[in-house]
Amino acid sequence: MVVLVAGSVIASVIVVSNTVNHTSHVRSPTMTLGAISPLNGSAYPGGDLPDLVGNDPVVNNMYDFSCLMDLNAGLEGVYLNITVSKIGGQTISSEDVTLYLCDYSASNDPLDWSWRSVPLVVNGSILLGVCDPSWDNTLSNDGECNLLNAFRIVYHDIADFTISVTATTAPPVIPISLLQVIQQRGSIIVGTQVPYPPFENINATTDELEGIDIEIMEYVAAKLNVTIQWTPMAFDPLFAAVQTGQIDCAISAITITAERDLMNDFSMPYYVANQAVLVRDDSAISTMNDLNSSDLVTYMGSTGQWWVDENLNPQSHTPLSDVPAAVLGVENGVYDAFIVDTPVANKYANDSSYNLKVAFVIYTLVSYGILIPEDEPELKAAIDSAIADMIMDGTLDEILLRWLA
């Protein structure tokens, strides 16, 4: 373990624990590496910052440090595990310090290096951070004493801190939030079902995703300072995919319900929707009673399907997982009406390439939210904060006007 006490350099060591079977010639459970070393910052982004010195820390002081190693084998894909605490176990906050790891991945040229922020989460009286193998952590052996990695710490609070760094070949057994994983990865994996215009669709010219939900999620991702990895899939599998960790979250005009909230969680609502009855232009359907004597189609897993099952006794009811197929079914007379979210119905009714209209609206007043895993309060808080900002700064209204006008 490397132990740094702010204001001094302690000749301690870093321990690399070989906790899993490994192809290297490691003969003991641990390998002792060289002592902590103050770093000459001249080759790193930002120039020659002060190294660890013998003065007490002051607010916003920055220090660079590294660890030297002396290995008889190479380890690829290690986890760098960092803990930060205050001397005496004082209460610590994630706002007290900022920790960075030097990112060498671009090239061997120091001009291409950058400092990458290591997310730190509070766990009792310590802050925890992990740089997983995706950060290109490799301990190489070329017969010399090699640099483990370069760190930079910025103190935002006047206090004495202890920083511990270990490298392991297996994931650390410490609580890591999904938000921290997302931020370390640099991207959020988002599931959605397309097409479901105007919420999600594929642009015919660019072949890119577009729509209300797409723009909302792009705003949220920007607030989290990550990119988006879109994962299109059918609607029903979205729920299991979030629950099992296949995706980080899902946005797809998903209605917030108590039943869905049992297995997953939701962000705060970002849209309130009703159901509309989409029919052919020559249809005589105009009342609820008319629907009871009709052949209806709904979107599988949607509020429309649930509402028909709970409130109507139609001649037939066919849930489909394909929105365009349901629309064409009404257009071609296979079904009498499509019960679907109002914006979706309006999108097709206003499209002159179809002979369709909205017969009437069913006021369900359901709310849409972003589907997230249960027990991930940090991710929920971050997404809720982004949605609240979107509402306050007018971005959400702009998105809705652009797509619903």
Query: Highest-confidence range of 22-31, 76-85, 170-179, 227-236, by mean pLDDT?
Result: 227-236
Within-domain flag for 17: yes
* 84: confidence class by pLDDT, cuts 50, 70, 90: confident
Residue 265 and residue 354 share a domain: no
242 and 312 both lie in a single domain: no
62 and 154 assigned to the same domain? yes
What Rg do the C-alpha atoms of the chain give, in angstroms?
28
The set of residues, in sequence order, having a beta carbon less than 8 Å from that of 239 and lying 6+ positions away, is 250, 260, 263, 264, 371
Do residues 100 and 116 lie in contact, with contact meaning Cβ atoms separated by under 8 Å? yes
Residues 253 and 338 in one domain: no
pLDDT band at 137 (very low <50, low <70, confident <90, very high): low
The answer to whether the beta carbons of residues 349 and 358 sit under 8 Å apart is yes
Contact 369, 300 (CB under 8 A): no
Mean pLDDT across 235-249 = 92
Range in 111-115, 172-176, 213-217 with the lowest mean pLDDT: 172-176
pLDDT band at 64 (very low <50, low <70, confident <90, very high): low
The answer on pLDDT for 49 being more than 70 is no
CA dihedral 223, 225, 226, 227 (to 10 degrees): 70
- Condensed to tens digits (0 to 9), the pLDDT of residues 23-34 reads 222 222 233 333
Number of domains comprising the chain: 3
Model confidence at 405, pLDDT cuts 50, 70, 90, reads confident
Q: Does residue 265 sit in the same domain as residue 277?
A: no
Last residue of a domain, which of 175, 195, 229? 175
Query: Is the residue at 180 inside a domain?
Result: no
| Together in a domain, 80 and 124 | yes
Query: Which residues, 6 or more positions from 1, have their beta carbon under 8 angstroms from its beta carbon?
Result: 12, 13, 14, 15, 164, 165, 166
pLDDT band for position 102 (cuts 50, 70, 90): confident
Q: Do 264 and 279 fall within a single domain?
A: no
**Could you report the per-residue pLDDT of 5-19, keeping only the tens digit for each?**
222 222 222 232 222
Q: Average model confidence (pLDDT) for the chain?
A: 77
The pLDDT score that the predictor gives to residue 228 is 96
pLDDT value of position 101: 80
Asked if residue 73 and residue 131 are part of one domain, the reply reads yes
Query: Out of 115-119, 164-168, 380-384, which region has the weakest mean confidence (pLDDT)?
Result: 164-168
Residue 17 has what pLDDT? 27
Token reading at 139: 């301990």
Assess if residue 147 is contained within a domain: yes
**How many angstroms separate the most distant Cα atoms in the chain?**
86
The reported pLDDT for the residue numbered 381 is 94
Closest listed residue to residue 197, CA positions, set 324, 22, 49: 324
Six-digit token pair at 312?
A: 């109507």
Strands 209-210 and 316-320: unpaired
* Strand ranges of the sheet holding 249-250, from the earlier edge strand across to the other edge: 227-232, 187-192, 249-250, 371-373, 264-266
> Phi-psi bin for 267: left (phi > 0), alpha (psi -120 to 50), beta?
beta
Q: Tokens representing 7? A: 């204001």
Question: pLDDT, tens digit, for every residue of 201-221?
Answer: 999 999 999 999 999 999 999
pLDDT level of residue 312 (50, 70, 90 thresholds): very high
Q: Are 318 and 296 in contact (CB under 8 A)?
A: yes
Residue 170: inside a domain, yes or no? yes
Which pLDDT score is estimated for 63?
A: 65
Whole-structure pTM value: 0.57
Residues 90 and 205 in one domain: no
Q: Which of 175, 203, 238 is the last residue of a domain?
A: 175
Residue-wise pLDDT tens digits, 326-374: 999 999 999 999 999 898 899 899 999 999 999 999 998 889 999 999 9
Look up tokens 């790891």; give the residue.
101
What percent of the chain lies above the pLDDT cut of 90? Answer: 43
Domain end marker among 156, 175, 194 = 175
CATH code of the domain containing 332: 3.40.190.10
Helix residue ranges per DSSP H, 18-101: none
Say if residue 314 is in the same domain as residue 328.
yes
Q: Are residues 342 and 209 in the same domain?
A: no
Residue 266 domain-assigned? yes
pLDDT value at residue 46: 42
User: Residue 35 pLDDT more than 80?
Assistant: no
Q: Based on the fold, state whether residues 320 and 377 are members of the same structural domain.
A: no
Residue 107 belongs to a domain: yes
The boundaries of the domain holding residue 217 are 185-270+369-404
